[in-house]
Amino acid sequence: MHKYVIALDQGTTSSRAVIFDEQAHVVAMKSYEFEQIYPQPGWVEHDPAAILNTQTDALREAVRISGIPVEDIAAIGITNQRETTLIWDRATGRPLHNAIVWQCRRTAPIVKQLCDEGYEDYIRQATGLVPDAYFSGTKLKWLLDKLDLRERAEKGEICFGTVDSFLAWNLVSGHPHVTDATNASRTMLYNIHKNDWDDTLLKALDIPRAVLPTVVDTSGVIGMLDTEILGRAIPVAALAGDQHAALFGQGCFKPGMMKNTYGTGCFLLMNTGELPVTSKSGLVSTIAWRIGGETTYALEGSVFVGGAVIQWLRDEMKLIERASETEMIANSVKDTGGVYLVPSFTGLGAPYWDMYSRGTIVGLTRGTGRAHIVRAALEAIAYQSADLVSAMATDCGRKPTQLRVDGGASANKFLMQFQSDILGCDVIRPAVIETTALGAALLAGLAVGVWKDMDEIRSIWKMDLSLTPQMNEEERRTALAGWHKAVSRSLRWVEEDKA
């Protein structure tokens, strides 16, 4: 009997289901996009029902397309957009507010208040994170305050969760209220050294423990899929934040190995082994995964707007009809004509951590055309990622020689070549670029014995493309200087009380 593993990849703009066989080949895949909700400038929300319905529909349709017997599905793994915050009624399961998305900046004043009260250093030390509205803790406080739910939360009547937790509650029989260590480590409420929720931060944000999920291993059976969904109870055997799943799917099992995922945002992670590394360059320390009770850590840098800038070109600016056009358009001009685009639509992440930065286009002339803007948008993705690699090199004391890449935008060869050029190192793309989904599948399969150990999983990884730098050092320095000058123009654009 063949064995298959399904990854549910719930992302910021779409929900996908990907079916893998025992050799980690993609058998079938289905995705559905859902609406992005912008109640105010800088605010981003999702409809919880849209998240759940698109994910369930994608699962059912992927199984139908594949034609595989349901009896041959060994396990399901869940990977998710991180930090996005939901609350629901424990008795009914009814969501009590739209999901507040990781990109949302509404809680910047709460973060500022925490820092003013002297918690900044403690947050960095205990959670490994930089105080920012990006993370879940202040979003949860905002919801409890806004909806006047703290008393009910203290009674255990309210559930908080990131998207993995929300999906587990709704898809698994018995409604387990759980999250895994990777997602917990992104809340700004979890002590990554003690592997437990942090009482000091819970008190600072007035968040009752009763509202929090139980933290489980990243790989391990949490329960069985509700039989109404596919007609059979199937082990749900992994929960992992999307970037942690991608690090695992890229086979970055040794300290020093790093990957960059090009999705809605860009996320660079480096395996740092059994101990968390304190960054001096604006990166965060996070849990890479927890398996068998053993924790592996990582350094991470986050770009808030990566592939999302391409969606902006398509949906808001109407400069393109399809994302796939951008490679051809970028290659139609020899450079950007001096144009830089800084896509800080929701602030800047690492290494700047500026909640008040906003999107900027500089260097425009009368000769600037559509192709220059499109090319500048693609280059911006690579520049932002280069800032992360530079910060990581500073923290680790050595320049990387190789960057493994994945995610939808890694299919764009122009972008990947420019990334290699601006980094001055090799860029390696695997045969399966959907490594977020692959990582969730591998973690689930590992839990139920489809793959026996990490060595077997390591042998599955295969390279598809290797690119080497074509830009000389002087060109690289000049290009990066222009980028950093453009970034300086975008910093602290809005006033703190209007963010």
pLDDT in tens, 368-381: 999 999 999 999 99
CA 351 to CA 359: how far, in whole Å? 16
Averaged pLDDT for residues 290-303: 92
Averaged pLDDT for residues 63-69: 94
E strands present in 263-329: 266-273, 284-291, 294-303
Could you tell me the pLDDT band of residue 497, with boundaries at 50, 70 and 90?
low
Residue written as token pair 């700047």: 352
pLDDT for position 109: 92
Averaged pLDDT for residues 183-190: 96
b/e burial code for range 347-381 (CB count within 10 A of at least 16 → b): bbbbbbbbbbbbbbbbbeeeebeebbbbbbbbbbb
Could you tell me the pLDDT band of residue 420, with boundaries at 50, 70 and 90?
very high
305-345 pLDDT, tens digit per residue, is 988 999 999 999 999 999 999 999 999 999 999 999 999 99
Averaged pLDDT for residues 224-245: 95
Is residue 160 over pLDDT 80?
A: yes
pLDDT for position 154: 93
Residue written as token pair 């900027």: 360
Is residue 349 over pLDDT 90?
A: no
Is residue 239 over pLDDT 70?
A: yes
89-136 pLDDT, tens digit per residue, is 999 999 999 999 998 989 999 999 999 999 999 999 999 998 989 899
Q: What percent of the chain has pLDDT over 90?
A: 78
| Structural domains of the chain ordered from first start | 4-243 (3.30.420.40)
pLDDT for position 280: 84
pLDDT for position 496: 60
pLDDT for position 59: 97
CA 14 to CA 22: how far, in whole Å? 26
35-44 pLDDT, tens digit per residue, is 999 999 889 9
Averaged pLDDT for residues 415-426: 95
Is residue 1 over pLDDT 80?
A: no
Does residue 134 or residue 161 have the better pLDDT?
161
β pairing state of 99-100 and 266-273: unpaired
447-478 pLDDT, tens digit per residue, is 999 998 888 998 888 888 999 999 999 999 99
Name the pTM for this structure. Answer: 0.84
Q: How high does pLDDT run on average in the chain?
A: 93
**CA dist list (Å): 185 to 180, 190, 221, 286:** 9, 5, 20, 6
Chain length of the chain: 499
Could you tell me the pLDDT band of residue 279, with boundaries at 50, 70 and 90?
confident
Question: Which residue in 340, 338, 342, 422 sits closest to 386, CA to CA?
Answer: 422
pLDDT for position 353: 81
Is residue 235 within 8 Å of residue 448, measured between CB atoms? Answer: yes
pLDDT for position 28: 95
Secondary structure letter of residue 213 according to DSSP: P
241-274 pLDDT, tens digit per residue, is 999 999 999 999 988 888 998 888 888 998 988 9
CA 157 to CA 155: how far, in whole Å? 6
291: which strand partners? 219, 294
CA 297 to CA 289: how far, in whole Å? 7
Averaged pLDDT for residues 378-402: 89
Question: Which residue in 9, 2, 30 sits closest to 444, CA to CA?
Answer: 9
Is residue 239 within 8 Å of residue 176, measured between CB atoms? Answer: no
CA 316 to CA 299: how far, in whole Å? 34
β pairing state of 158-161 and 86-89: antiparallel
